[in-house]
Chain A
């Protein structure tokens, strides 16, 4: 029988992989994918605690986050395509126009 600890461990692992991906990867598409990982880590967390406490609200939250992630992926990819058309690159370290 899987305890809550297993779920939390899985969630934590996914979260750390996602965070490391966001912070370290240069390709923005990979960064977006890493963000999906983080969101799914949160989903697992929510669903696990929903099952543990028998409260369905957690699962509803998870569904919202999935919808949100889909929308976010669509908008993010749109921005990346627009950016690529301008700069012919999708590398994050070349996106430095925001600095002073």
Chain B
């Protein structure tokens, strides 16, 4: 406890000398930080979590999903209805203004939906928009959205990633290297409780309270005056800044540090479950090479990997909090998710036996790609090493790894997926096993089953189809799902903040104490 005393003494010392803290309650500015640098701060054109968070603050969608009941509440739409299985109708709210003063109308909804659903719009996560065929204004305050196929999860996406932009903004896009318009360069104008006032790509993003935010929104009225996001790439610098007061809020604190922070007591430490799932992907489809020297083609090898890793130990010792081992390629609360799939227990002896049967009695060497929480990947490497699989770590930034995953180079990778916080299996399994660039399974039966689940309106049919797909994925081990995350948040005692399970901190409902 010597450290505790020292830090307490230091606190006392600084009570006398005021170290310029441009943060916190004193100047009504909430400084939050992550280690990620954000180059594009717009929805659709960036898929990092930080963008998802900023999107909720700066833009509104047609609907808002309640954080506790998961019901869809009216936001920019006052009501909705399913006209038929492939058509949604929304009544549009009056009296809302964009941050630039322009009034919000049904035309803006139509323009946004039509642009982002275009195949060459540059939207990064196609799943979020590929269900839309087109949108039409069918009355002064009415919009119809036509779906390509029946897609019952549509409302998850309407209330999730589908932020509404002003209709004229798309024409202001700059041209990119290919000579096409890069829609990721338009100004960040929305109708949300905060205005995005300053963007320094890779460094900081500033939000200011929208004092004219329309009353009656389920998001409430914003209280904190200014919100500043800063990239602090060094996790220790983050902690130090939190301790010294120049940062008010951080998250993704590793368990060891969180435990220590709790001991010291300078800041609040809270843990909350998240929908984010950690997984190991293996190249079943032979995308990295179909030759005999690709060990991932052999299903005994993949089973060996599944038995070699002690997931419970990793969850208990490295991740902590509300984290749990996950057996299927989805998060338990997501619609269609089931854990009634083949499971693999920790059995290193069995792993070695399987490897020998597969023709690798002395194991083999492979690259393992990862981008996040290195200790988890290193623990995985350690367990694999114990059964003879020697791994060479290729640790890199998310964007770089994403590229390798997409082009098939990363035959064995350890990544995570937050499903955009969409509470439906279509946001995870259908994204990863639909035959697209993220799919290392490329199994037609899975692709068909997922399509059925995505497009059928009967919940029982959907569940059965998803179960079939998830079972095949678990059997084939295209993915070894590892665990669902628990996130540790740490923030100043002056802040009244409650984390939510969807991993989207809502600063617009936070207040100073």
Asked if A and B bind, the verdict is: no
